């Protein structure tokens, strides 16, 4: 009598079926159940209901977290399958693809995959554009929690390495993304410049900001006397530093950054 065949310990996989955006995915289940707190907790429930066992009874994941799509899910699965069969993970992913992986691995607590994705994004110092990093910052900032604070900090660092289109834009971006250094540096460079931008450009900052900037510029160099026959005396106070700028704009800074909020 032939011996009962034995399942290979390395290349015999249980599978799980998912439904995302009306697309069915069937992948090895071991890594998903062992490495994700979310799927691991649901594994016993799925086993009892037979959910995920076939195309007719898939685990329904739509809508995915953070507005992700089936294509985003596919980016994550490529990494899961590679880790399951101990193959190299993708090395040619774009920033957008890694962002997909970060969104889903964070939502589903795949901590190892999240660490991998952050490492890949962090390691790339020159391949991505300013607009791409702004897209990353938009997402990370919109979450309003600490779960993506590392991604937010990385995006801010990368964007800071590019030249802002104008100092006004730098201030506006600092306000939008609640990053105080951009605000202070932008205002400092504006008031210390030899010439201010056009009034139309300045008014984008708001009336109170414009008035304060004009007052500070006037304080830097004021003249006394007339144009005819009188001696002119000038009092030049030199460039403003960051501390002085923050003092002049203290009301705005306090409104944007309460004591409990990091800058």
58 in Cβ contact with 19 (< 8 Å): yes
213 in Cβ contact with 196 (< 8 Å): yes
Mean pLDDT lowest among 53-57, 155-159, 216-220, 250-254: 216-220
Torsional sign, CA 152, 154, 157, 163:
negative
Q: What count of other Cβ atoms lies within 10 Å of the Cβ of residue 131?
A: 9
Tokens standing for residue 118: 């952050």
pLDDT at 178 over 50: yes
The pLDDT, as a whole number, for residue 48 is 65
Q: What is the pLDDT of residues 205-229, one digit of tens each?
A: 999 999 999 999 888 766 434 445 5
């Amino acid at each position: 009598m032939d011996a009962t065949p034995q399942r290979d310990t390395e290349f015999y996989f249980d599978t799980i079926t998912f439904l995302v955006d009306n697309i069915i995915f069937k992948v090895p289940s071991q890594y998903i159940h062992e490495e994700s707190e979310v799927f691991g907790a649901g594994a016993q429930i799925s086993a009892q209901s037979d959910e995920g066992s076939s195309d007719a009874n898939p685990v329904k994941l739509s809508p995915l977290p953070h507005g992700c799509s089936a294509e985003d899910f596919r980016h994550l699965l490529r990494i899961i399958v590679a880790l399951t069969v101990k193959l190299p993970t993708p090395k040619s992913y774009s920033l957008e693809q890694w962002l997909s992986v970060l969104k889903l691995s964070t939502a589903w607590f795949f901590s190892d995959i999240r660490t991998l994705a952050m490492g890949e994004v962090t390691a790339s110092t020159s391949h991505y554009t300013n607009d791409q990093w702004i897209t990353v910052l938009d997402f990370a900032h919109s979450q309003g929690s600490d779960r993506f604070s590392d991604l937010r900090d990385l995006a801010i660092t990368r964007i800071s390495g590019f030249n802002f289109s104008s100092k006004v834009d730098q201030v506006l971006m600092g306000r939008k993304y609640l990053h105080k250094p951009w605000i202070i540096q932008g205002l400092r460079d504006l008031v210390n410049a030899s010439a201010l931008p056009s009034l139309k450009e300045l008014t984008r900052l708001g009336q109170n900001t414009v008035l304060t900037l004009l007052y500070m510029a006037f304080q830097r160099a004021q003249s006394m006397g007339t144009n005819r026959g009188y001696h002119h005396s000038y009092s030049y106070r030199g460039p403003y530093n960051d501390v002085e700028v923050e003092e002049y704009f203290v009301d705005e800074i306090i409104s944007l950054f309460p004591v409990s909020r990091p800058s």
